[in-house]
Amino acid sequence: MSVIEFVDSHTAGEPTRVVVGGGPRLGDGALPERLQRLMTEHDAFRSAVVNEPRGADVLVGALLVEPEDRTCTAGVIFFNNVGYLGMCGHGTIGLVATLAHLGRIQPGQHRIETPVGTVSALLRSNGEVTLENVVSYRYLRQVEVHVPGAGPVRGDVAWGGNWFFLVDSPPVELTIANCDKLTEYAWALRCALNRHNITGEGGAEIDHVELSTSTPGADSRNFVLCPGKAYDRSPCGTGTSAKLACLAADGKLAPGQVWRQEGILGTAFEGSYRPENGTPDRIVPSITGKAHVTAQGRLILHPDDPFRDGIRV
Ligand code: PYC
């Protein structure tokens, strides 16, 4: 029988399950190598932790690992119901809240290693976290894709730690009541991108779709569809980073200017950026949000359990 120790939290409504003990041994080395080992040798662990009957499609898992760079507070590998994430903004805020809950860190600046680069997180005494994400950029501007049933759709392709296709003013209103319709629309869009071979840099699959609209309470409201067809309950940290990269590239947001990004539940992150090398083409986004710890416990994986490794569909 295996026992996995975890702490659950949510960040603006989006859940994160941090594995703090009992995870697979991935050895030393750079995080991309350890991610590769997790993918090829321990994928059953991923599924057992986040899929039913112990988890749910919406849950993002975070395996806490020793950082390679000892100046970092922690290393982390994020995963979900169908695979692995490069970075996860809400998940990093959840990880920081978890480490604080466990008494392992104090308010202050922390560096965290992820497979796509080191990020930093400032934990404030009120529990708010400001994450400085990996360098983000727009890769393609206003690409047109034909979506069956929806016609031609235009959007930007941008990197914010994951690959996004960002569409402004979609034909479906961004309300939680329209969640199924939004999911259907965003999924059709994602499938069309794949079919037409529209990718991120180096042929990387675009596995997140972000729909945005204007809203009275914030600078923008979004709906983000994640790779496993669950929608992000939060405004999505990497999605907000990708959005900031597009705004910066278009000259619509100045360095340091605050962008209030609302998600589909009405919760918000505050974003801003600094140019990476003095140019608005590559930016370092900052995302501020707060996570709340919701549970702490042990997952039991019994050899007799037909769903020991989770339900995979
Ligand atoms: O907050 O970056 C994020 C995220 C990615 C997928 C779900 N949340």
- Is residue 88 annotated as part of the catalytic site, yes or no? yes
- Determine which helix (DSSP H) or strand (DSSP E) holds 181, and give its type and residue range: helix 179-195
The Å distance, Cα 56 to ligand 1 centre, comes to 15
Burial classification of residue 119, based on how many CB atoms lie within 10 Å of its CB (0-12 exposed, 13-18 middle, 19 or more buried): buried
- Rounded to the nearest whole angstrom, what is the distance from the C-alpha of residue 264 to the centroid of ligand 1? 13
Neighbouring residues of 306: CB distance < 8 A, sequence distance ≥ 6: none
Atom number of ligand 1 nearest to Cα 88: 2
CA of 303 to the centre of ligand 1 (A): 32
CA separation for the pair 59, 298 (Å, rounded): 16
CB neighbourhood size of 236 (10 A) = 32
Residue in 232, 244, 269 to alter for ligand 1 test, most ligand atoms within 8 A of Cβ: 232
The pTM assigned to this predicted structure is 0.98
- The one catalytic residue in 72, 179, 191, 236 is 236
Q: E strands within the chain? A: 2-11, 14-21, 60-65, 74-79, 84-85, 108-114, 117-123, 128-132, 136-147, 151-159, 163-168, 208-215, 218-225, 259-262, 268-275, 282-301
Nearest to 82 by CA among 113, 59, 106: 59
Pocket of ligand 1 (CB under 6 A): 14, 60, 85, 88-90, 162, 226, 232, 234, 236-238
What pLDDT tens digit does each residue of the chain (313 aa) get?
Answer: 999 999 999 999 999 999 999 999 999 999 999 999 999 999 999 999 999 999 999 999 999 999 999 999 999 999 999 999 999 999 999 999 999 999 999 999 999 999 999 999 999 999 999 999 999 999 999 999 999 999 999 999 999 999 999 999 999 999 999 999 999 999 999 999 999 999 999 999 999 999 999 999 999 999 999 999 999 999 999 999 999 999 999 999 999 999 999 999 999 999 999 999 888 899 999 999 999 999 999 999 999 999 999 999 8
